[in-house]
Chains A and B, each alone.
Chain A
């Protein structure tokens, strides 16, 4: 065995206290409960899943539908219930599966609502399905549904640390670009709207502040994990976590994401820290469990070899997916090919305006489409700057007009078989001015969806 192999083996299979995993489970459950409740109370279930008449599904997931009001309410009801059950460790395995399925299903309905932090939650809940996080300090062990366990294999904690590291480090790497570092974009623009902030508002008008925030943000993302795994500097690192995420929470409308990160990074703290929390919780709950079924690590379901293979597959996917943009030509921020699922957070300021046309089959006449008839303002906004969504909407229009006979107000009858759909789209990146985004002549109804390069996106003429 080489040193590296030994090290990996230790990281994966050594026995560790279950305490960090248990604390993570409880805090995750509580955060998700609050986050789901907030979502429901804000009325977003209706706004996002009932009101729209069209949904931008993900490629391969076109079968995902929001159902009706009852269907989606049921999904959210199950979601909310499962968060509580996860926190309590009650029917944990089932609850974590229900949470993962409901949450991911809801996120897959419409890519308009894609947020990196939703993707993060999907991944974490995916992992939680396989982790023995209910083996202590849970209703499951109290009621005797499962055996108690003081130790777990190290991978079940380290995979969560790995996931956190992926988020931060890729977010940091994605900031290492010309716009962020040299032009301090988009913060240069965004900070100028913040001059009303208490205490630090006055600083926001200076260019220096934008550079400070950009560089500090990049350094924070790149190195915070290394600080957090260090016993001596951890406490300072955590103070930085609170300051960094606290600032973003005050300045930008990013919802619960900062709080999720503040809570999740506790996973990096020492075993003793987590044991104290568990002891504190158990001290509050004076009930004595009747369950005496106390064991060593249960004989693992999977042999070590399989565990190792499955973990390396997961890890490889996580490391490669954010790099897939390298396979596409052109400016990533302009084309957004390979942009999602890559931890690119608050990186670009982009706005667009899209006018679609349906062409008359014979003569050159074309009908202007009013996007508002099909899309909500948020959908229209997201669609106008993202080529895959532009294409999807064009296909939706194609399907709406295929094989239709339209009688115009002046009595003219138009027989459409396969409509030609074009779009005049203007996009402005980093407030440099809107310019033509895609080839206005290309018939979008004939272009296939897919992961191949979209050569109908025009160059970003700087």
Chain B
């Protein structure tokens, strides 16, 4: 390593007039940093928050009081926030089991939930029950319309099936958070860190997986799912708002989850440590390394300021988002435009800069 550094210095003087600065860039170092300092700690936290959720659920079920119920709601919220920090790791083990569909699909199937509870017989592993489980099922169960906390406590006390369903749903989330952490801390971690040596950043390499997963999740689940769909941007010609499509429709609080996902994505792109926020080697450095620009600014800074703009525009909105898209549509439109503008920056500029290829097919660069 040191020898290389010395060699590099000698050659760097030759290339001194170059427009870009030339620091040696080790992809494996970046992957190691992202893995050890973001992905594993974030999944660890996700799992811990779900264990806490599970504990408060047992607390509530053995002693159903309003206090225990409020504690349960708080741990639910914490766990869902921790999901926002890992949701865009949409590749590898998470993509294999389509983790997003296992834990956070909406709109939630309330009829299906009530049906399952009434029957008392259900199989949460079936894909058909994906919209009857996960955090959004809890959103509904813990915030049923027109019911106070006391009403909820009474409901769960008087309905054993509902209480069982509640804990089953939480157990199911727990199963997945444990599964994903085990996969990552097990074999996947090492293959992720090392699997970058295939031809360029072709499909199957870690960088391609990471970037494809990030771009897909941002475009489809965050931009479209969290804002675009409820706003009606994808609802045909009339673009009629679809307020019930917001995340956490029943909790009537969606924005903290959106903001959390964007902030976490920002950290992840910049290679920041999950726990300390300390900056490390990330996709931003990689983009700088290849000298990617956008309107003569560095692409990494353009992406960072676009994310700042998203945070600023979303910051001007008020919860419940389902109401805001009706009464304050122009502001939501602005936030959506800011979210939309990031898509070409990521899908065209970033993917191109990082040499990420979308398919296995041969390519001769035209």
Minimum CB distance partner of A363 in chain B? B237
Interface size class of B (residues with CB under 8 A): 35 or more
How many residues does chain A have at the interface if contact means C-beta atoms less than 8 Å apart? 70
Stretch of B93-101, B117-125, B351-359 lying at the A interface: B351-359
The CA-CA distance from A366 to B234 in the complex, in Å, is: 10
The interface-forming segment of B39-47, B142-150, B289-297 is B289-297
A428 touches B201 (CB 8 A): no
A256 vs B361: C-alpha distance when bound (angstroms): 11
CB contacts under 8 Å to A, within B1-57, are: 4, 7-8, 11, 14-15, 18, 20, 22, 24-28
Check if A346 is an interface residue, CB within 8 A of chain B: yes
Q: Which of B15, B236, B358 contacts A206 (CB 8 A)?
A: B15
Contacts of A257 in B (CB 8 A): 362, 364
Tell yes or no: B299 within 8 A of A by CB.
yes
CB pair B200–A406 under 8 Å, yes or no, is no
- Contact check, A431 vs B290: say whether CB atoms are below 8 A apart: yes
Chain B binder among A60-68, A189-197, A309-317, A445-453: A189-197
A176: Cβ under 8 A from any B Cβ: no
Smallest Cβ-Cβ distance to A189: which chain B residue: B290
Q: Knowing A195-B27, A202-B4, A346-B365 touch, does A409 contact B357 (C-beta < 8 A)?
A: no
Asked if B361 contacts A44 (CB within 8 A), the reply is yes
Closest to B294 in A: A433
Instruction: Tell which of A47, A195, A207 touches B15, judged by Cβ atoms closer than 8 Å.
Output: A207
Which among A138-146, A245-253, A318-326 touches the partner chain?
A245-253
A16 on interface, CB distance cutoff 8 Å: no
Given known pairs A349-B352, A353-B347, the reply for A365 and B365 (CB within 8 Å) is: no
Does A340 count as interface, using CB distance less than 8 angstroms?
yes
Distance, CA A350 to CA B349, complexed state (A): 9
Are B355 and A377 neighbours in the complex by a CB distance under 8 Å?
Answer: no
Find out whether the CB atom of A253 lies under 8 angstroms from the CB atom of B200: yes
Which residues of B have CB within 8 Å of A434?
294, 344-345, 348-349
- CA of A414 to CA of B8, assembled, Å: 65
Within the assembled complex, what's the spacing in Å between the Cα atoms of A408 and B238? 7
- B351 neighbours in A (Cβ, 8 Å): 351
Chain A residues with CB under 8 A of B233:
368
8 Å CB contact of A207 from B7, B22, B355, B360: B22
User: Any chain B CB within 8 A of the CB of A186?
Assistant: yes
Most chain-B CB neighbours within 10 Å: which of A192, A193, A345, A384?
A193
CB of A410 closer than 8 Å to a CB of B:
yes
Q: List residues of chain B with CB within 8 A of the CB of A189.
A: 290-292, 353, 355
A405–B328 CA distance with the chains assembled, in angstroms: 31
C-alpha gap A281/B240 in the complex (Å): 74
- A113-B361, A194-B200, A428-B348 are contacts. A207–B26 as well, Cβ < 8 Å? no
Q: Does A129 contact B (CB under 8 A)?
A: no
Which residue from B200, B349, B363 sits with its C-beta under 8 Å from A351? Answer: B349
Residues of A within 8 A of B18 (CB): 207
Contact B352 A193 (CB under 8 A): no
Which residues of chain B are near A205, meaning CB under 8 Å? Answer: 8, 22, 24-25, 289
**Minimum CB distance partner of A365 in chain B:** B237
A367 on the interface (CB 8 Å rule)? Answer: yes
- Beta-carbon contact of B358 and A412 below 8 Å: no
For the complex, give the distance between the alpha carbons of A96 and B349 in Å.
Answer: 44
**Chain B residue with the shortest CB-CB distance to A368:** B234
Q: Are B292 and A431 in contact (CB under 8 A)?
A: yes
- Cβ of A339 under 8 Å from chain B: yes
Contact for A365 among B24, B201, B238, B299, CB less than 8 A: B238
Q: Evaluate whether A433 and B291 lie within 8 angstroms (CB atoms) in the complex, with A350-B352, A408-B238, A426-B344 already known.
A: no
The 8 A CB mask of A399-418 against B (1 = contact, 0 = none) is: 00000001011101010000
With both beta carbons as reference points, the residue of chain A lying nearest to B239 in the complex is identified as A365
**Do B237 and A193 have beta carbons less than 8 Å apart?**
no
Least CB distance, A28 to chain B, in whole angstroms:
18
| CB-defined contacts of A193 to chain B, threshold 8 Å | 27, 200-201, 290, 354-355
Contact in complex: B353, A427 (CB < 8 Å): no
CB <8 Å contact, A408 and B235: yes
Interchain CA distance A370-B24 in the complex, whole Å: 40
- Residue of B whose beta carbon sits closest to that of A352: B348
Q: Which B residues lie within 8 Å of A196 (CB)?
A: 27-28, 196-197
8 Å CB contact of B25 from A48, A195, A365: A195
Interface residues of A in 289-344 (CB under 8 A from B): 339-340, 344
B343 sits at the interface (CB 8 A): yes
Known A194-B200, A431-B290, A431-B291; contact A115-B355, beta-carbon cutoff 8 A: no
Contact with B along A24-68 (1 / 0, CB 8 A): 000000000000000000101001100000000000000000000
Residue from A113, A347, A370, A408 in contact with B234 in the complex, judged by beta carbons closer than 8 Å: A370
Q: Which residue of A lies closest to B365 (CB)?
A: A346
User: A381 with B349: in contact, given A189-B290, A409-B235 (CB under 8 Å)?
Assistant: no
Q: Which 3 A-B pairs have the closest CB atoms?
A: A433-B294, A255-B362, A351-B352
Known: A193-B355, A408-B240, A410-B240. 17 other contacts (CB 8 A): A44-B361, A116-B364, A189-B353, A195-B26, A196-B197, A205-B25, A206-B15, A207-B20, A251-B200, A252-B365, A351-B347, A426-B344, A427-B348, A428-B294, A428-B348, A431-B291, A434-B344
Query: 13 A-B Cβ contacts within 8 A?
Result: A113-B361, A186-B365, A189-B355, A193-B290, A254-B364, A257-B362, A345-B366, A352-B348, A353-B344, A376-B359, A409-B235, A432-B294, A433-B295
A residues with CB within 8 A of B: 42, 44, 47-48, 113-117, 186, 188-190, 192-197, 202, 205-208, 250-257, 339-340, 344-353, 358, 360, 365-368, 370, 376-378, 381, 384, 406, 408-410, 412, 414, 426-428, 431-435
